[in-house]
Amino acid sequence: MQRVVFLNRFFPPDHSATSQLVGDLAGYLASCGHDVHVITSRQLYDDPQARLPAQETLNGVHVHRVTTTQFGRSKLVGRAFDYFSFYASARRTLLTVTRRDDLLVAMTDPPLISLVAMEVAWRRRAHLVNWLQDIYPEVAAQLGVPFLKGPALRSIMFLRDRSLKKAAANVVVGEQMADKVASRGIAKDRIHIIPNWAEDEEILPVTPDVNPLRQEWQLENKFVVGYSGNLGRAHEFDTILAAAERLRNNSDIMFVCIGGGHLLERLAKRVQDRDLGNFKFFGYQDRKVLRFSLCVPDVHWVSLKPELEGLIVPSKFYGIAAAGRPVIAICAKDGEIGRMVERYRCGGGVEPGHAGALVDLILQLNGDVALRAEMGRNARTMLDAHFTRRQALARWQHLLENVRPSHHSARSPARF
């Protein structure tokens, strides 16, 4: 029986993407007989004032929740305080929980938590596995976070690279992310690609005529262009907004956003300022109704700023594919999602800023039911062949049961 300790700032019942991924994997490993622990915060992603139980067992997983500041995500300074308080509290708990030869799996929320995990793994003679959902600090630098440039940026990258080199394994979620990590001098045999996943056994294609949300949200007889999930700083909405403005007099087309995020609030404000009647906004849906909410749109759009390709992979792509819906990738065409959309013929790609091309694609999909159906089938076929939840969890189990200690493990950790 392997002992596994996960480290991530959020965990179920939180609904955020990373907490659902850790929850799925931790619960699966526990069901396979492993001794699984999770060190996380007492907060919820969208409710920093939440006080979840300090200790509990969920689906066979031992959950250790640490106390942090509670400023939330709205301000960068407050978020930084929450990060640093989590580093300190998580380190103390890690030192208590972690034992020799444990597998310590560190995600990337908060950023650079791998540095804390690296030190604890060295002290406890455990084996570090980094699970990279994004590559920090490069993401923050590209988004213009203050002070992340010049010597400060290079110093943080150097320390981050140390934590990757000392790990027994580094798991990334896309091919281009693997290339980025390898370009930092990380041994390729310690880089493993395991894509994220969706609840594909529960999320199945549902036609509009039997989808209760289509009626409840008054979307009958509409062609729905949808967005589902978090719309954050890594994404962009100017292209879809410009397309919606050009289509404002087309009564057949409705744009629907389901979820939240920093940019979704700004998008809603811009829609209101422009008096666009072809947008509807709905909050995050309970996981139990995702199978319906993901099937509300006839086509989904996914966006990513081109400069962030290889640093982030939008995981919502897999939920869309599970629902059997085409994808409009408002991303670099040679990026991770753009390539998959083209390779598997499950949608279309539009470069950010090309609103005219987006309008043409929307009108084409609106007018061609057979093409939409074919793209949707292709998306689900792609998922079933390569990206199911069972496949991903099995890959994780195989990796963790065959981890070999890093040749760096006997050396001292990076100095801070």
What is 295-362 written as a DSSP string?
A: TS-SEEEEE--GGGBTTB--THHHHHHHTT--EEEES-TTSHHHHHHHHHT-EEEE-TT-HHHHHHHH
What is the pLDDT confidence band of residue 221, given thresholds at 50, 70 and 90?
Answer: very high
The CA distance from 327 to 316, in Å, is 10
Residue 287 pLDDT > 90 = no
- Residue of 165, 171, 9 whose CA lies nearest to 79: 9
Average pLDDT for residues 71-89, to the nearest whole number?
A: 88
Tell me what pLDDT residue 409 has: 45
181 and 217 part of one domain: no
Tell me what pLDDT residue 166 has: 97
CATH code: domain of residue 281: 3.40.50.2000
Query: Is 51 contained in some domain?
Result: yes
Stronger pLDDT, 299 or 413, i.e. the higher one: 299
Query: Is 291 contained in some domain?
Result: yes
Mean pLDDT for the chain overall: 94
Residue 45 pLDDT > 90 = no
233 and 184 part of one domain: no
215 and 181 part of one domain: no
311 and 395 part of one domain: no
Residue 75 pLDDT > 90 = no
Query: Is 228 contained in some domain?
Result: yes
Tell me what pLDDT residue 415 has: 37
Average pLDDT for residues 211-216, to the nearest whole number?
A: 96
CB of 257 closer than 8 Å to CB of 296: no
40 and 187 part of one domain: yes
Query: Is 415 contained in some domain?
Result: no
What is the CB neighbour count within 10 angstroms for residue 370?
7
Stronger pLDDT, 17 or 363, i.e. the higher one: 363
156 and 141 part of one domain: yes
Average pLDDT for residues 51-55, to the nearest whole number?
A: 96
Tell me what pLDDT residue 81 has: 92
335 and 356 part of one domain: yes
pLDDT in tens, 99-109: 999 999 999 99
- Residue of 4, 81, 88 whose CA lies nearest to 38: 4
68 and 186 part of one domain: yes
Query: Is 412 contained in some domain?
Result: no
**SS3 of 163-226:** HHHCCCEEEECCHHHHHHHHCCCCCHHHEEECCCCCCCCCCCCCCHHHCHHHHHCCCCCCEEEE
Tell me what pLDDT residue 416 has: 30
219 and 142 part of one domain: no
Average pLDDT for residues 313-336, to the nearest whole number?
A: 96
Stronger pLDDT, 404 or 38, i.e. the higher one: 38
What is the CB neighbour count within 10 angstroms for residue 53?
9
Residue 136 pLDDT > 70 = yes
Helix, coil or strand: residue 83? helix
Chain position carrying tokens 């139980």:
53
- The percentage of residues in the chain with a pLDDT greater than 90, rounded to a whole number, is 88
The CA distance from 327 to 225, in Å, is 10
The amino acid that residue 149 corresponds to is K
| Residues of the domain holding 272 | 208-386
DSSP H or E segment with residue 255: strand 253-260
136 and 260 part of one domain: no
Average pLDDT for residues 198-211, to the nearest whole number?
A: 96
Average pLDDT for residues 306-316, to the nearest whole number?
A: 96
What's the first-to-final CA gap in the chain, in angstroms? 34
Tell me what pLDDT residue 412 has: 44
Domain count, the chain: 2
Query: Is 181 contained in some domain?
Result: yes
Tell me what pLDDT residue 406 has: 59
Average pLDDT for residues 309-333, to the nearest whole number?
A: 97
Average pLDDT for residues 189-200, to the nearest whole number?
A: 97
Query: Is 217 contained in some domain?
Result: yes
229 and 338 part of one domain: yes
The CA distance from 374 to 356, in Å, is 24
22 and 138 part of one domain: yes
Average pLDDT for residues 113-122, to the nearest whole number?
A: 97
Q: Which of 62-71, 144-153, 301-310, 328-337 has the lowest mean pLDDT?
A: 144-153
Query: Is 190 contained in some domain?
Result: yes
Residue 264 burial by CB count (10 A; 0-12/13-18/19+): exposed, middle or buried?
buried
Tell me what pLDDT residue 1 has: 79
